[in-house]
């Protein structure tokens, strides 16, 4: 990342140099100069009351944000407090004056439970000189449609609308905060943004106590991670970021915390990712499990059980709201111009209506560890196995049936190789689970079914003309990056000549300046122009499996260099400029970082 944590101040372009704070109940994005430019209420898929990242139309600068501006500001530097989700931003003026902003969401153990209120805390303190600052809190509601009604109390401002009610409690001047007037920062000031109810004690004291307890929580959590020897800081940041993309109340794992940041400039590829995709969540659970953070898996399986109970005939949707059963309709938010004026801004995701048959394998794979990991409080049993068998039966019925595929094509359904591979994986893992439970007959049945599916898949997915496995089973497939996952799933070995030639085909057709495209054919919106970061990590893992270690490490460190100033990745990357695009933080990308680091790292014994 170099020294990109320090940025000069000017009328620069909006970028994805954003830090994330959160507590598994709410989350916010903070830009490099220290403004809260994105936060939804009362949970990450709610109304973005701070939506400046997507530029509310016909509004002055600073509307839709919590902004802090230093008079004669010259420079800002930003970093995380080590091994935490606490962000510190230092603002420096042209006279040498400095102010520090500390942002966090409280999270710690209290009364034998995890305390994680829907609350954001900002502490602003002088560091050098007598800096003059202007603090402004100007939320919007109804996706940038209007400002809420503001009511002043003795030490707070309440913001209310039809569906939203929250308050800012502060020991600074309330009129200064509302109007953004400058004042001399001669002592620390505190803002607590949370539910519209009184705090139990003085705002500065409660912020002090919460900050110390939150710091302790995160450092203790990190201490329990089984990180690889190399690239520890990058892996720790990725793990914390993944944790912030979970919603502990329901167990949901979000794909990202934003909506409608385009995959590429001018592409109209703007999607709402503030929901739980079963496929993405499996990869997140797998990554955190490998680091020893298993509670996310337990919460996610609880989420799946509740979601499945609402469905018809055991059918799973590919994506769910945080609460699971709520409808997930897609519509536009016309009051928001979009990231760098890239519209449309979408709310909801029509992928919920698609058929994506990989979901059954994704859930079985996520649950498999319950039957083999002795560390867990709750382990898999015969009852859970029977429930997973019903998903296996769905996988067999949908194997090789047309669906939208992992890339969620909206124009047509085809029998996708990746979906079929996950259906095979469901049967394969069920055979292993049956063996662990001593259910020999069930194990034999699922092993036989897995063998039949594997033979059919490998035969139909192979293309003689491409000399590679391709995207579909219908004889008209294209080269697709998901083929790189075949060894990871256990479908075939990395040394298989068919996989080696598939890897060569991916390199020939999908790799651009070292970064990997998902595919190169036209879809519903034309031909993609930016690389998908997770695919690049799949490529790195494939290089390592092929014994090309030096190339793999070189590619891995190249991607690490493209993280933003605090170590976070979005979904996409321009292979020509290296600029990040797409929703952020993208869990798929952070998972890929962890997976590749574990694969490439030297063992601890080499220390």
Q: Mind listing the pLDDT tens digit for each residue in 80-134?
A: 999 999 999 999 999 999 999 999 999 999 999 999 999 999 999 999 999 999 9
d(CA 576, CA 139): 37
Quick check: 208 pLDDT over 80? yes
CA dihedral 259, 261, 263, 269 (to 10 degrees): 60
Percent of the chain with pLDDT over 70: 97
Question: What confidence category does residue 295 fall into, taking pLDDT thresholds of 50, 70 and 90?
Answer: confident
Q: Mean per-residue pLDDT for 520-526?
A: 92
Quick check: 3 pLDDT over 70? no
d(CA 292, CA 462): 37
When the pLDDT of each residue in the chain is averaged and rounded to a whole number, the result is: 94
Structure confidence by residue, pLDDT tens digits, 323-349: 886 678 999 999 999 999 999 999 999
Distances (CA, A) of 57 to 63, 143, 341, 432, 490: 10, 11, 10, 55, 50
d(CA 432, CA 429): 5
Q: Mean per-residue pLDDT for 538-553?
A: 97
114 in a structural domain: yes
d(CA 587, CA 593): 10
403 in a structural domain: no
Q: Quote the pLDDT of residue 541.
A: 98
Cβ neighbours of residue 13 under 8 Å, at least 6 residues apart? Answer: 340
Cβ neighbours of residue 330 under 8 Å, at least 6 residues apart? Answer: 272, 346, 347, 348, 349, 350
Quick check: 519 pLDDT over 90? yes
* 100 contacts 117 by C-beta, under 8 angstroms: no
d(CA 355, CA 509): 28
169 in a structural domain: yes
Quick check: 406 pLDDT over 50? yes
Percent of the chain with pLDDT over 90: 87
19 in a structural domain: yes
* 297 contacts 305 by C-beta, under 8 angstroms: no
Quick check: 184 pLDDT over 80? yes
The residue behind tokens 């595919």 is: 519
Structural domain tally of the chain? 1
311 in a structural domain: no
Domain containing residue 194: 6-203+217-222
Length of the chain: 607
98 in a structural domain: yes
Question: What confidence category does residue 61 fall into, taking pLDDT thresholds of 50, 70 and 90?
Answer: confident
22 in a structural domain: yes
Question: What confidence category does residue 400 fall into, taking pLDDT thresholds of 50, 70 and 90?
Answer: very high
25 in a structural domain: yes
Q: Quote the pLDDT of residue 4.
A: 43
Peptide bond into 585 cis (omega under 30): yes
Quick check: 2 pLDDT over 70? no
Q: Mean per-residue pLDDT for 565-589?
A: 97
* 191 contacts 122 by C-beta, under 8 angstroms: yes
Secondary structure (H, E, C), 554-588: HHHHHHHCCCCCCCCCCCEECCCCCCEECCCCCHH
- Which token pair is 136? 């402004």
Question: What confidence category does residue 313 fall into, taking pLDDT thresholds of 50, 70 and 90?
Answer: low
* 37 contacts 258 by C-beta, under 8 angstroms: no
Q: Mean per-residue pLDDT for 364-383?
A: 90
- Which token pair is 553? 């490490």
* 343 contacts 270 by C-beta, under 8 angstroms: yes
Q: Quote the pLDDT of residue 324.
A: 80
Q: Quote the pLDDT of residue 376.
A: 84
Quick check: 13 pLDDT over 80? no
- Which token pair is 467? 């000399």
- Report which of residues 605 and 34 the model is more confident about: 34
């Amino acid at each position: 990342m170099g020294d990109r944590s320090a940025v000069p101040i000017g009328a620069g372009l909006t970028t994805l140099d954003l830090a994330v704070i959160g507590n598994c109940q709410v989350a916010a994005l903070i830009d490099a100069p220290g403004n809260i430019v994105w936060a939804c209420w009362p949970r990450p898929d709610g109304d973005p009351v701070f939506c400046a990242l997507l530029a509310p139309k016909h509004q002055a600068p600073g509307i839709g944000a919590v902004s802090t501006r230093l008079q004669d500001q010259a420079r800002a530097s930003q970093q995380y407090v080590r091994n935490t989700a606490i962000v510190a931003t230092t603002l420096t003026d042209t006279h040498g004056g400095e102010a520090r902003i500390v942002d966090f969401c409280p999270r710690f153990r209290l009364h034998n439970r995890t305390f994680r209120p829907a609350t954001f805390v900002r502490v602003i303190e002088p560091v050098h000189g007598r800096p003059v600052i202007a603090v402004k809190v100007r939320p919007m509601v109804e996706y940038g449609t209007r400002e809420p009604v503001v009511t002043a109390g003795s030490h707070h401002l309440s913001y209310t609308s039809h569906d939203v009610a929250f308050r800012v409690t502060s020991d600074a001047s309330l009129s200064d905060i509302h109007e953004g007037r400058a004042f001399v920062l001669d002592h620390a000031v505190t803002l607590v943004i949370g539910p519209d109810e009184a705090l139990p004690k003085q705002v500065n004291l409660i912020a002090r106590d919460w900050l110390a307890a939150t710091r302790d929580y995160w450092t203790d959590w990190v201490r329990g991670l089984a990180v690889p020897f190399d690239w520890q800081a990058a892996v720790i940041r990725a793990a914390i970021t993944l944790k912030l993309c979970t919603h502990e109340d329901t167990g949901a794992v979000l794909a990202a915390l934003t909506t409608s940041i385009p995959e590429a400039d001018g592409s109209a590829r703007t999607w709402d990712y503030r929901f739980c995709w079963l496929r993405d969540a499996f990869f997140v659970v797998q990554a955190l499990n490998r680091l020893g953070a298993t509670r996310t898996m337990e919460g996610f399986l609880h989420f799946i059980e509740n979601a499945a109970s609402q469905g018809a005939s055991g059918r799973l949707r590919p994506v769910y709201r945080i609460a699971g059963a709520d409808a997930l309709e897609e519509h536009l938010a016309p009051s928001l111009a979009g990231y760098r004026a890239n519209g449309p801004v979408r709310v909801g995701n029509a992928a919920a209506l698609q058929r994506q048959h990989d979901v059954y394998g994704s859930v079985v794979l996520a649950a498999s560890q319950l039957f083999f990991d002795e560390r867990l409080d709750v382990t898999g049993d015969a009852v859970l196995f029977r429930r997973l068998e019903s998903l296996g039966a769905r996988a067999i019925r949908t194997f090789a049936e047309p669906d939208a595929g992992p890339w969620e094509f909206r124009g047509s359904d085809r029998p996708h190789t990746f979906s079929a591979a996950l259906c095979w994986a469901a049967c394969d893992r069920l055979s292993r689970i049956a063996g662990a439970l001593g259910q020999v007959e069930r194990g034999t049945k699922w092993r036989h079914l897995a063998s039949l599916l594997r033979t059919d898949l490998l035969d139909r997915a192979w293309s003689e003309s491409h000399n590679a496995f391709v995207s579909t089973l219908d004889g008209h497939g294209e080269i697709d990056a998901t083929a790189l996952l075949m060894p990871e799933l256990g479908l075939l070995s990395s040394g298989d000549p068919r996989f080696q030639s598939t890897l060569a085909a991916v390199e020939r057709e999908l790799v651009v300046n070292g970064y990997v495209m998902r595919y190169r054919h036209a879809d519903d919106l034309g031909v993609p122009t930016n690389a998908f970061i997770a695919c690049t990590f799949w490529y790195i893992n494939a290089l390592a499996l092929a014994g090309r270690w030096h190339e793999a490490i070189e590619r891995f460190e190249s991607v690490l260099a493209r993280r933003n100033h605090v170590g976070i990745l979005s979904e996409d990357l321009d292979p020509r400029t290296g600029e990040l695009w797409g929703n952020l933080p993208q869990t798929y990308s952070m998972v890929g970082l962890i997976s590749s680091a574990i694969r490439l790292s030297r063992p601890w014994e080499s220390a």
